[in-house]
Structure 1
Amino acid sequence: MDLDIALHANEPPKPTVRSSIEEKARYEKWGRANRLSLMIMKRSISHTLIGAISKTENAKRFFDDIVEKYKSSEKADAGELMDRLTGMKYDGVGGVREYIMKMVDITARLTELEIPITESFLVHHPLNSLPSQFDQLKTSYNTQKDKWNTNELISICDQEEKRILRGSGGSVNFVSQPNMKGHSSSHNYRRNNKGGNKIKNQKSNGPKPAIKKEINCWFCKKNGHKKFDCHKYKNWLAKNKSGGVQEQAKAK
């Protein structure tokens, strides 16, 4: 009764010396209910939420502020749940039954947030999100007139998964698409790693040393010196002064 008074009734005017006994008694009763309501609410919520609520000694305003904060939080939660629901892909972990049950749980939480999900969507979306190994089941459902409910979908998909596992010897990769951000399939990893080892080996060899070219003298045809350092060439120049001067001019 005291909580109803504090949360639903406005604060009565403070009594004055001219106030009647009834007015003073009503204000005193409201004050006691207001203090009790504030104490109960502050003990019932987290300190983080209390810090986000405007400071007030009025229980009704305090309660209204909490309601507004939860409304904002619910909108964020609804958006996150919708993203999770529409982005789910079956990877084989835990089995198809558990995978669809996770979707059912998300839709139930969305319904609590006043975002109802139809039974038809809860059948089509999980079925269409399954990998290519379930294509035969998808085709069978799309070509028949009867519609499944969620329980039938879970049961039929579970049976189909067991059939697929028996046909493949109990080992199937249900990941339909590898994550291009680093979580690639084992086949792609081996292929890429092979190339990576090749590059690594090339780098480990290091740069090849420069090949030193041998210096050849075209005059005496011997290695290790140039023509102008050749003794035979200098002797030849001394014997042929005129020809040597011309040769030196060309060299410059």
Structure 2
Amino acid sequence: MDIALFSPSSLFAEDDDSSADEETTETSQSFVERTHKFPEMELLIREFSFHELNANLLWPGTFAFAEWIVQHRSLIEGRCCIELGSGTGALAIFLRKTLHLDITTSDYDDQEIEENIAHNCKANGITPVLPHIRHSWGDAFPITAPNWDLILASDILLYVKQYPNLIKSLSFLLKSYKPKDESKGNEQNNVKLPGLPYPAFLMSWRRRIGKEDESLFFSGCENDGLEVKHLGSRVYCIKPI
């Protein structure tokens, strides 16, 4: 597994960060709390000062994705969602508070990440805390019949070597999707509904790596039987072919 030995925020120009990034409290040597501006609200998020699995800071794609979703809220309202690479849980918390979305967080099989997401849920009035799945990409998924019809993620394509593992997990979630209501699933499969397909992976990718590197992810998805569609504003929809 690739380990980050740098702060993710150092990869961005300062004017690319839509967060207020106002440091409010240094809670310990391991964490820092910051107030971040999301559309129509502020969230107090506790971040790792450093985390070897790179689950420490909020990245620009989180805020860009939040704005895009608010502008296209009709596409995801009422969907059953899981977020991959939740990190601090900030995006999922925002979506629960803004759209009352049924959303599950997910990140590496790591207790510290899970506990920090729970902390941030409570700090922002989300009780009970959001359900969380501990899963390292490429490993067997702990749920054999996933019923999330929409998978979300932002800025998760940093490590090129992890693309095969990410695609493996993503393909499982999309191709093994089992709706809670089978009749609803049949209707979704047989009728061309407006909006996003069922199931679908919706991803915002705002990072600055080489186009040849990032294209490896999209071509890998296509080779694995997934269709990639660019929706604009660096937001992509991926679904089974």
TM-score, normalisation: structure 2: 0.20
Greater helix share, structure number: 1
Q: Which has the higher strand share?
A: 2
Whichever of the two has the greater Rg, that structure is 1
- Higher RCO (C-alpha 8 Å, min separation 6): 2
Instruction: Provide TM-score, normalisation by structure 1.
Output: 0.19
